[in-house]
Amino acid sequence: MVHSLRSYLLITCGGFIQGIGMALFLFPHSIPSGGAGGIAVLLNYWVNIPLSFALWLVNFSMLVAAIYWLGNASAIGTMYGITITSLSVHLFSFELYRPYNNVWIDLVIGSIILGVGVGILLRQGVSNGGMGVLALIIANVRDIAPGRPLFLLNGSIFIVTGSIIAWPIVIQALISQWLSTKMVDVIFRLRTMLLFEQPIQGWRKKSVKR
């Protein structure tokens, strides 16, 4: 029970941190934070759906894969993390005063914050939603850190987003993903930290059907 509560506390922190990176630094410039973020930006652009709800809706659709491949415990944790992230995006969706007005500064800051949040979530054996579910499945099957598959999966979403909204977004999104996935791998490999030693039970031992 202590380990479970500790895991959910870290999931709360990870989702909250991830939402801050999205809402304050990336979304104001329409920079997608990932596959789900890219689709959320497109839904907001096309039909003016609030970004927080669009993000939750896209992420919810990935739960079936999380339940089947990663187990119920991971799926519940993923849904909880997605909800915390969406609430964080909603709470921090306001104009932040900055002594500068530079998209590249926001991109770097937001990407690092995003990567820390996503890394905490993945280290607890839950996904940050969207393509993170698939990245976690690949990482589980191949026993690798999830940063690289997450980067490759999200790249396709960025190309679509950039072709519809603006091509510079593709470059910005790829740089953002490179920075954030580097942070994901750093956090994911911090196995010596006591707080990260107890992921939600069930996802690592679940056998993979071939």
Residue 210 lies in a domain: no
Q: What is the pTM of this model?
A: 0.72
End-to-end alpha-carbon separation of the chain, Å? 33
Per-residue pLDDT of the chain (210 residues; tens, 9 = 90+): 444 888 999 999 999 999 999 899 988 887 877 777 777 778 888 888 887 788 777 777 777 766 777 777 777 888 888 889 889 988 988 777 666 778 899 999 999 999 999 899 888 888 777 777 778 888 888 888 888 888 888 877 777 777 777 777 778 888 998 899 899 888 877 754 444 445 555 544 444 444
The DSSP letter of residue 200 is P
Range of the domain at 19: 2-94+103-196
Residue 201 lies in a domain: no
Residue 55 lies in a domain: yes
Residue 208 lies in a domain: no
Vertex 35 angle, CA 30 and 36, to 5°: 80
Residue 207 lies in a domain: no
Residue 174 lies in a domain: yes
Residue 176 lies in a domain: yes
Number of domains the chain contains: 1
Q: Give CA–CA dist 155/137, Å, rounded.
A: 18
Q: Give CA–CA dist 164/38, Å, rounded.
A: 11
